[in-house]
């Protein structure tokens, strides 16, 4: 009996051991499948940063800063006044250009009057010519009948020739006057000068090109600035994205539109949903100031990283109804892209 009992106990222990091994194997297979599905379908990198549209606002004309109406870190809307240059020199230039335009228009009006007078002279000369031709015809007829002297015929012919010459001179003067009227280049140049002066006067007010936050400010009242000189930085509050630098071995299955998750180091526990927008046409090394030359010296292969632009969708995480937060350009991030 003891032998039978011992055998039964051994059988039960062996069965339990087999069941335990089976459970362990099933758990291992399940874990492997989970890793394959969830980790094999994701590509992650912690070499990522928040980026935003940033512009260094500059003056388009030279001048003295009269007023700076914004401060650093101040939020502005597109079209808001940022600073103003001294408008006095540009107002003077505009008045001068307007005076030159008025003078050019007066000269054009004089040319038109001269052209009208020349046209009237042409008509008068035509009348004189016609009269001289009729007088010549009468004198010639009388001369043929012996009723007019040779001298009278010569005087009639001379009068006709003089009338024709006066008509020719009047026609030439009329053509010259008409040409001066048709050539309005002087007026158009003066109008362009007025438009340029008006544009310069409008440019004394430097305005925000888009919605954003004022960053570093270097302009102060009284400073004399030149065209193109950076006066302040403006960072967009709307056009914000994340640039993830993935290894070249990670991008094989990535496609534009693939969903992505973004975690910002400054906001632990919060997740932003996004998607792959585009891929850089070159690796980060190509954009470096001193790009590596693989053909020079001893070659060592280094895995390159390709910038991938991630566009953020609606922010999530941080609890139900969590408010969105301001993402400053340059913040470190971690990006995970679903590539299944």
For residue 304, tell me if it sits in a domain.
yes
For residue 16, tell me if it sits in a domain.
no
Answer yes or no: do 207 and 193 share one domain. no
- Name the least confident of 111-120, 221-230, 235-244, 277-286: 111-120
Answer yes or no: do 123 and 184 share one domain. yes
How far is 96 from 89, CA to CA, in rounded Å? 11
Range of the domain at 119: 90-199
For residue 15, tell me if it sits in a domain.
no
Answer yes or no: do 119 and 217 share one domain. no
- Of the candidates 266, 321, 297, 338, the residue with the CA atom closest to the CA atom of residue 48: 266
What is the number of domains present in the chain?
3
Answer yes or no: do 262 and 162 share one domain. no
Helix (H, G, I), strand (E, B) or coil at 79: coil
Answer yes or no: do 61 and 47 share one domain. no
The tokens for 306 are 């390709």
Answer yes or no: do 105 and 175 share one domain. yes
Q: What CATH number has the domain bearing residue 310?
A: 2.40.30.170
The tens digit of pLDDT for each residue in 61-110 reads 999 999 999 999 999 999 999 999 999 999 999 999 999 999 988 887 87
State which H helix or E strand residue 339 sits in. none
> Which residue did the predictor score with more confidence, 35 or 97?
97
Answer yes or no: do 265 and 320 share one domain. yes
Tally of CA atoms within 13 A in the half-sphere of 190 that contains its CB: 18
For residue 24, tell me if it sits in a domain.
no
Burial of 310 (0-12, 13-18, 19+ CB in 10 A): buried
For residue 136, tell me if it sits in a domain.
yes
Determine how many CB atoms are found less than 10 A away from the CB of residue 204.
Answer: 22
Q: What CATH number has the domain bearing residue 70?
A: 2.40.50.100
| Domain-terminating residue out of 234, 249, 277 | 234
The tokens for 51 are 């980026």
**Residues 36-69: b if buried by 16+ CB within 10 A, e if exposed:** eeeeeeebbbebbbbbbbebebebebebebeebe
The tens digit of pLDDT for each residue in 115-171 reads 787 788 888 888 878 888 787 788 777 777 777 777 877 787 888 888 788 878 878
């Amino acid at each position: 009996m003891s032998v039978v009992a011992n055998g039964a106990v051994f059988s039960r222990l062996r069965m339990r051991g087999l069941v335990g091994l089976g459970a362990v194997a099933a758990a291992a297979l399940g874990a492997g499948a989970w890793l394959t599905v969830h980790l094999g379908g994701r590509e992650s990198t912690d070499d990522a940063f928040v980026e935003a549209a940033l512009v260094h606002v500059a003056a388009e004309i030279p001048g003295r800063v009269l007023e700076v109406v914004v401060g650093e870190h101040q939020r502005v809307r597109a079209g808001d006044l940022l600073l103003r240059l001294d408008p006095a020199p540009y107002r003077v230039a505009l008045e001068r250009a307007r005076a030159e335009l008025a003078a050019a228009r007066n000269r054009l009006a004089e040319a038109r009057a001269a052209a009208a007078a020349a046209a009237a002279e042409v008509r008068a000369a035509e009348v004189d010519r016609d009269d001289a031709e009729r007088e010549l015809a009468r004198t010639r007829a009388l001369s043929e009948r012996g009723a007019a002297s040779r001298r009278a015929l010569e005087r009639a012919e001379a009068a006709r020739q003089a009338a024709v010459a006066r008509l020719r001179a009047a026609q030439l003067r009329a053509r010259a006057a008409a040409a001066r009227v048709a050539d309005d280049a002087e007026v158009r140049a003066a109008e362009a000068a007025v438009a340029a002066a008006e544009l310069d006067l409008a440019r004394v007010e430097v305005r925000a090109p888009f919605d954003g936050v004022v960053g570093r400010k270097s302009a102060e009242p009284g400073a004399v600035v030149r065209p193109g000189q950076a006066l302040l930085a403006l960072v967009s509050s709307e056009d914000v994205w994340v640039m993830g630098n993935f290894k070249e071995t990670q991008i094989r299955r990535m496609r534009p539109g693939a969903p992505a998750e973004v975690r910002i180091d400054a906001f632990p526990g919060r997740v932003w949903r996004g998607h792959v927008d585009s891929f850089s046409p070159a690796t980060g090394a190509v954009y470096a100031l001193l790009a590596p030359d693989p053909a020079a010296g001893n070659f060592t292969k280094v895995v390159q990283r390709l910038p991938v632009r991630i566009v953020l969708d609606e922010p999530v995480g941080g609890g139900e109804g969590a408010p969105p937060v301001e993402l400053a350009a340059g913040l470190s991030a971690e990006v995970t892209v679903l590539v299944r």
